[in-house]
């Protein structure tokens, strides 16, 4: 629920065989497009979505290609650039002239790519502001689980042999700082879209599409971004350490940085009220 307005599932045809799922809610004049992180889905935003007044905002919660209810084709096109192209097409399809992007982790990387791609371009839309939550902005050593997925031999075995519940529980224990946040309901939320046809392939293809060299090249351009930026980070993030948030704040001129104490990799789930307050204050600022 969002401001007493139900979230409605819809689909957008990126190409003839690639349908992208999203949820929409609200009827306000300010469109917000949300992008989740790796191995997540639109449901990651549900703890916070209901805090956005429906008369002020229209929300679009995307499932990126390969995740949630979106298509999972075996085409190998799961790079950050591929996801940014889909995001661009989605914004145009919705006829949005001005948009605010909110990206978590991998979704933050996609947000940054689109900002850089459309910089100085005579585009059909303007990115008014961006909000980056524990954003994957720099090259870094992948967590052990991700490294295993890269392997053509070990990757498929990991996803086939480890029970889904155990895989999700182990991952969430690392994502959240507060153990009490890893509730049975949250485990079920992630399990719902962590199994099924095409998901093992999409997970592996996404990890294989992460190019550290590309991240290094792109990060050199962050200083050229002029879009107002809010960076939110969990101080105890064990997936993407706070030092990355500090670097991003330094590299993006004029950016704001909000650090949440005793919070892990997903502030919008672990501390939704505080995360919303930071976003609301940023969006209300002139």
**Alpha-carbon separation of residue 68 from 171, 191, 193, 253 (angstroms):** 17, 10, 5, 34
For the chain, domains (ranges, CATH) are 8-141+211-284 (3.40.50.1820)
The verdict on pTM exceeding 0.85 is yes
Burial of 189 (0-12, 13-18, 19+ CB in 10 A): buried
Q: What is the mean pLDDT of residues 5-28?
A: 94
35-44, 104-113, 143-152: least confidently modelled range: 143-152
Which H or E element spans position 24?
strand 18-25
The count of C-alpha atoms lying within 13 angstroms of the C-alpha of 159, restricted to the half-sphere facing its C-beta, is 24
Q: What single-letter DSSP state applies at residue 27?
A: -
Q: How far apart are alpha carbons 265 and 270 in whole angstroms?
A: 9
11-25, 98-112, 199-213, 270-284: least confidently modelled range: 199-213
Is residue 3 scored above 60 in pLDDT? no
Is residue 165 scored above 60 in pLDDT? yes
Burial of 128 (0-12, 13-18, 19+ CB in 10 A): middle
Q: What single-letter DSSP state applies at residue 141?
A: P
């Amino acid at each position: 629920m969002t401001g007493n307005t139900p979230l409605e599932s819809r689909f957008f045809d990126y190409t003839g065989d690639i349908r992208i799922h999203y949820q929409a809610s609200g009827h306000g004049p300010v469109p917000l497009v949300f992008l989740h992180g790796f191995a997540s889905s639109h449901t990651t935003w549900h703890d916070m979505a209901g805090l956005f007044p429906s008369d002020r905002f229209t929300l679009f919660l995307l499932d990126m290609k390969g995740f949630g209810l979106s298509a999972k084709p075996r085409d190998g096109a799961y790079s950050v650039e591929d996801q940014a192209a889909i995001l661009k097409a989605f914004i145009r399809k919705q006829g949005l002239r001005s948009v605010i992007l909110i990206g978590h982790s991998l979704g933050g990387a996609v947000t940054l790519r689109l900002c850089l791609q459309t910089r100085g371009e005579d585009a059909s839309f303007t990115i008014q502001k961006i909000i980056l939550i524990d954003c994957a902005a720099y090259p870094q050593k992948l967590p052990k689980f991700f490294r295993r997925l890269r392997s053509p031999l070990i990757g498929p075995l990991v996803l086939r042999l480890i029970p889904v519940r155990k895989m999700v529980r182990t991952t969430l224990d690392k994502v959240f700082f507060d153990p009490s946040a890893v509730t049975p309901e949250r485990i079920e939320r992630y399990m719902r879209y962590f199994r099924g046809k095409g998901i093992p392939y999409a997970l592996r293809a996404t990890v294989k599409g992460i190019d550290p060299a590309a991240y290094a090249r792109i990060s050199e351009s962050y200083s050229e971004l002029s879009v107002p930026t809010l960076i939110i980070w969990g101080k105890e993030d064990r997936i993407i350490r706070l030092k990355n948030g500090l670097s991003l704040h330094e590299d993006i001129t004029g950016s704001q940085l909000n650090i949440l104490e005793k919070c892990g990799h997903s502030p919008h789930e672990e501390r939704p009220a505080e995360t919303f307050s930071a976003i609301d204050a940023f969006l209300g600022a002139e």
